[in-house]
Amino acid sequence: MSATMIKEFRLPDLGEGLTESEILSWKVAVGDTVTLNQVIAEVETAKAVVELPSPFAGTVAALHEQAGSVVEVGKPIVSFEVDDAGDSPSGGSDAGTPGASDSEGASDFEKALAKREPNLVGYGAVVEKSGRPARRQRNFDGGVTEHEPVNEPLAEQPVQVPVAVPSEPTAEQERPRSTPPVRKLARDLGIDLEMVKGTGSGGLITRSDVQEFAAVDQRQVSVSAVTPAPAPIYAGVPGERETRTPIKGVRKFTAAAMVQSAFTAPHVTEFLTVDVTPTMELLTRLKTSREFAGYKLTPLTLAAKAVLISLRRNPSLNSRWDDAAQEIVQFNYVNLGIAAATPRGLTVPNIKDADKMTLLELSTALSELTDTARSGRTSPADLAGGTISITNIGVFGIDAGTPILNPGEAAIVALGSVRKAPWVHNDELAVRQVMSLSLAFDHRLVDGEQGSKFLADLGAILSDPAAVMTMI
């Protein structure tokens, strides 16, 4: 009869130095038998909802946190009872498993995999065997645990975030605790970290701490000004005069990012109202064509294509400001962000290499992006790396606005609603379909002339799609 042992799974860093995550739901219960990589929970980071796979095959022994709890990275969230026999996930022999890289019958893939360190998604770089004894490392509670040898089965290695705890104070410990990206952000904003109070684990200063301090210190405005609107009165308890909703997850991250963007990039907003009747007529023809049968075509689809064409003539709007290197970085590709309102707050996933897509491909990508965002399944990768964004405020019946730039981007286009209005057409007054376009851009990167030309090109395409023939 094989022996069993208890293995703890600690909440890993799900990307970009995030310090905490909320457990939305458990997919398993105590006593359940799980397999390797089976989804055991859904957690929400500051950027997206992520499914956590099980790093072990065994039985769930304990759930240390309840659904709805906000847990710091490195804290135990679940324990498993696993079979210790043979050190294999299934409790059998090692033959044929990634840990048995020298066993007969093991594939080349398994042999290569046995040399890799596990992380949350996939595996890290190949680790060569050195023949030296396993190093000891400190755990999150200050205790000492044995580091698993790299050639043991991957399923037996819990995903942990190592934190070095020196035995004696050092000069590094005397300064405020923060990560290198956070220290760089503080330097960029001219903030002394000695003045910032850390809200992370053990007083760690987080990116959000720096951004909120910058908002208050540099512009003397309260961060509460960017908190979400209060819930409708019917959402509260009868008789109560107000409803309070904790600011966390995606909404907390979005608020901090918008504060940083508003107080870092000098925004300029321009407006243009155009007659989009020809574009709406084109949309009707395309919907009834054989090529687009079964595909979802909307005014956003054609407007997105028009934005991509306009960028070819005005590439300065597809760039970012690298303050550390004191350089302007112009992108030779377009990752088109689409602002999406979700139950958990505003997100801006982006379509990678949208400039290389046909109208049909762009239509498919937009449908998939919006469906995924509304269901809360957008991955962190889809939220990162955007180069320019579109926000479609027209779906809410709004004509124009002054959108805030997505951090790290040079421009954002707001599409207003399409309305019938009196318009001078062919020197006569007629009822036409018109739309207001709003363009906000970073004046460090984009001059007024460049922004105006881009907006004019965009308006020209939407008012006469045939104008594309003269632009490309």
Is the model's pLDDT at 155 over the cut of 50?
Answer: no
Average pLDDT over residues 83-100: 45
Average pLDDT over residues 113-122: 40
Task: Report residue 19's pLDDT band, with 50, 70 and 90 as the boundaries.
Answer: confident
pLDDT tens figures, 156-213: 344 443 433 334 444 444 556 777 667 777 777 778 787 788 887 778 888 878 877 7
Residue 391: burial class (beta carbons within 10 Å; 0-12, 13-18, 19+):
buried
List C-alpha distances in Å: 242 to 205, 224, 247, 449. 32, 16, 15, 47
Task: Report residue 438's pLDDT band, with 50, 70 and 90 as the boundaries.
Answer: very high
- Assign 3-state DSSP to the chain and report helix, strand, coil percentages, each to 5: 30, 25, 45
- Among 20-24, 58-62, 343-347, the minimum mean pLDDT is found in 343-347
The three-state secondary structure class of 41 is strand
Task: Report residue 137's pLDDT band, with 50, 70 and 90 as the boundaries.
Answer: very low
Residue 260: predicted pLDDT: 72
The three-state secondary structure class of 384 is coil
Higher-pLDDT residue of 15 and 292 is 292
User: Which residue in the block uniquely carries the two structure tokens 């004509």?
Assistant: 399
- Among 36-40, 141-145, 350-354, 431-435, the minimum mean pLDDT is found in 141-145
Q: How far apart are CA 343 and CA 328, in angstroms?
A: 36
Round the average pLDDT of the chain to a whole number and report it.
Answer: 76
Residue 239: predicted pLDDT: 66
Is the model's pLDDT at 134 over the cut of 80?
Answer: no
Is the model's pLDDT at 284 over the cut of 80?
Answer: yes
Higher-pLDDT residue of 136 and 427 is 427
pLDDT tens figures, 40-64: 998 887 667 788 999 999 999 999 9
Token pair belonging to 239:
């008789």
Q: Which domains does the chain have, with CATH numbers?
A: 4-156 (2.40.50.100), 171-250 (4.10.320.10), 266-470 (3.30.559.10)
Residue 97: predicted pLDDT: 36
The catalytic residues are 443
Higher-pLDDT residue of 212 and 413 is 413
Beta bridge partners of 321: 328
- Among 103-117, 232-246, 304-318, 373-387, the minimum mean pLDDT is found in 103-117
**Alpha helix (H) residue ranges in 177-276:** 180-189, 207-219, 249-264
User: Which residue in the block uniquely carries the two structure tokens 């790299």?
Assistant: 150
Higher-pLDDT residue of 341 and 317 is 317
Span between the terminal Cα atoms of the chain, in Å: 74
Is the model's pLDDT at 146 over the cut of 50?
Answer: no
Token pair belonging to 283:
């949309």
Task: Report residue 117's pLDDT band, with 50, 70 and 90 as the boundaries.
Answer: very low
